[in-house]
Amino acid sequence: MADSLLVIEDERLLGAELCTELASSGWDAVQAFDLAEAERLLLERNLEPLVVLSDMSLPDGNALDLLEKVRGRGVAGEWIFLTAYGGIPESVRALKLGAFDFLEKPCELERLQIVVAGAARSARAQRRLRDEERQRGHRYSPDAFIGRSPAANAFRDMLVRLSQVPFSGLLLTGETGTGKGLTARILHSSGPRASGPLIEVNCAALPKDLMEAELFGHEAGAFTGAKGRRRGLIEQANGGTLFLDELGELALDLQAKLLKAIEDHRIRRVGGERELDVDIQVVAATNQPLEQRVAEGAFRADLYHRLAVFRLEIPALRERPDDIDDLLPVLIDEFNARSGQRVETVPPAVLERLKGYHWPGNVRELRNLVERCVLLADGPVFPDRWMHLGDPSQSAADPLGVLSEDGRICLPLDGSLSLDAMERAILGEVLHRNAENVSLSARVLGTTREKLRYRVQKYGLKASD
């Protein structure tokens, strides 16, 4: 199907000649003789031309006014202006409104074809980006948080409300695996900054000595190995959202610089001499009790209060077990599509076991379990042999099936436990053997009290000082 092109020209013979010439190049050319007719085509009949070729001065007004109006309505397409009486002010206004080019009459048809082809390439690229943004917005709408439980409904309603306001800071809390990353993408893709970038930073994944350069960027020669200028992640998020995962791991000195950047909307690259303006909204996530870390002096109170303008706690999966009814089919369909499997039926006994499990790894653990079972399934029935949930009669105090004897801890290596689950099991057993004493357990494990306390809070373990 040919792309449409609108010609707005009051000189009928010239307009007909342009339409004929462009139609010979494969365009579906439509002609309008004045601004009123063009406005009806664009706004009432929903004509979506890839390119608009317009005279500047028409009997009923200036075409720049129409361009400004349709841009305000979100009508896409590149505009090229032709005029015999254009001056510098009109040229400047046309370019400010986003016109692709401004040509004076008479214009050679060969040159016009080249300009129209360039405008078409630009318009197609913009259309592709809009389609991708639309698909991404649909994928990460509030409905992407799946579940019909009261906890899920309340959380989803809050996502809808927050996606409609231009918040500057938001703090996500909850256990590991509950979906903090998904929530950040929903808030970005459903909000007013959806057309801007979403930059995700894991504060625990980058070494402390590199974090400042990663966040703020650097100039050439700022430090050893800085061979060129680098835009930092905050600068890359300009106009969009900066998602700071594992915020509690950020060093205190960087917390102060981050607070200044959020408050002043300005940053300075490492080794730079001037400040740069940035416009970002910040979504931060943590599974640590930041209020306690503030009280201990391990986290800045001013940064905490600046980010906690809104605070969302994501409910754990064990608090909404009925949502497994909705989550399971979605995850099975996803991994069916990836692997070519055709798992369709979940036996009631399997579903009952899944809903009775306490899910220390939350939705991430459920996702890993479904992936494993779908990939290893021999038919259309969801297999229970690969779930590895342990004995259903096992007490909640020892949900992972850890065997401990003769001073040793035995963990299954059959894929039933994630790395986080193994770490949680080891720490829980060491704390149990040392009467939940954090200081004594830290000495046994050869680590610091602060690091162990962080993991105790991360995994929700029982401990005391």
Mean per-residue pLDDT, 99-124: 88
pLDDT score for 390 = 54
Among residues 95, 121, 136, which one ends one of the domains?
136
Mean pLDDT of 392-396: 40
Both 208 and 243 in a single domain? yes
**361 lies in which domain range?**
317-389
Say what the pLDDT of residue 451 is.
83
pLDDT digits over 166-201, tens only?
888 999 999 989 999 999 999 998 888 988 899 999
Same domain, 179 and 289: yes
Contact 316, 179 (CB under 8 A): no
Of the listed ranges 41-50, 149-158, 236-245, the least confidently predicted one is 41-50
| Amino acid 393: pLDDT | 40
Domain limit, last residue, from 121, 136, 151: 136
Mean pLDDT score of the chain = 86
- pLDDT computed for residue 398 by the predictor: 46
Same domain, 262 and 352: no
Q: Measure the CA–CA gap between 126 and 148, rounded to whole angstroms.
A: 37
Q: Average pLDDT in the 372-380 region?
A: 92
Residues 251 and 282 reside in one and the same domain: yes
pLDDT for 266: 94
Write down which residue in 315, 339, 362 finishes a domain.
Answer: 315
Average pLDDT of span 309-338: 94
Same domain, 333 and 418: no
Q: What is the pLDDT of residue 301?
A: 94
CATH code, domain carrying 88: 3.40.50.2300
Q: Are residues 356 and 407 located together in one domain of the fold? A: no
- Total domain count for the chain? 4
Q: Containing H/E element for 202?
A: strand 198-202
User: Within 13 Å of residue 317, how many CA atoms lie on the same side as its CB?
Assistant: 26
Shared domain for 157 and 304, answered yes or no, is yes
Per-residue confidence (pLDDT) for residue 45, from 0 to 100: 86
pLDDT at site 433: 85
What is the average per-residue pLDDT within 283-295?
A: 91
Does the structure show a pLDDT above 90 at 225? no
pLDDT at site 395? 37
Can you give the pLDDT at residue 394? 40
Reference 64, options 40, 92, 44, 42; nearest CA is 92
Domain of 325: which CATH number?
A: 1.10.8.60
Q: Given this model, what pLDDT does residue 392 score?
A: 42
Average pLDDT over residues 249-255: 91
Q: What is the pLDDT of residue 237?
A: 94
Q: Is 297 left (phi over 0), alpha (psi -120 to 50) or beta?
A: left
The verdict on 306 and 382 lying in the same domain is no
At 272, which CATH number?
3.40.50.300
Better-predicted residue by pLDDT, 252 or 397: 252
Asked if residue 8 has pLDDT above 80, the reply is yes
Give the pTM.
0.65
For 43-102, the pLDDT digits (tens) are: 888 888 999 999 888 889 889 899 989 888 888 899 998 877 656 677 777 778 888 988
Peptide bond into 197 cis (omega under 30): no
CATH number at residue 444: 1.10.10.60
What's the whole-number mean pLDDT along residues 248-276?
A: 92
pLDDT at 422 over 60: yes
How far apart (Å, rounded) are the C-alpha atoms in residues 401 and 354?
16
Clarify whether residues 454 and 369 are in a common domain: no
Strands 266-267 and 276-277, bridge-based pairing: antiparallel
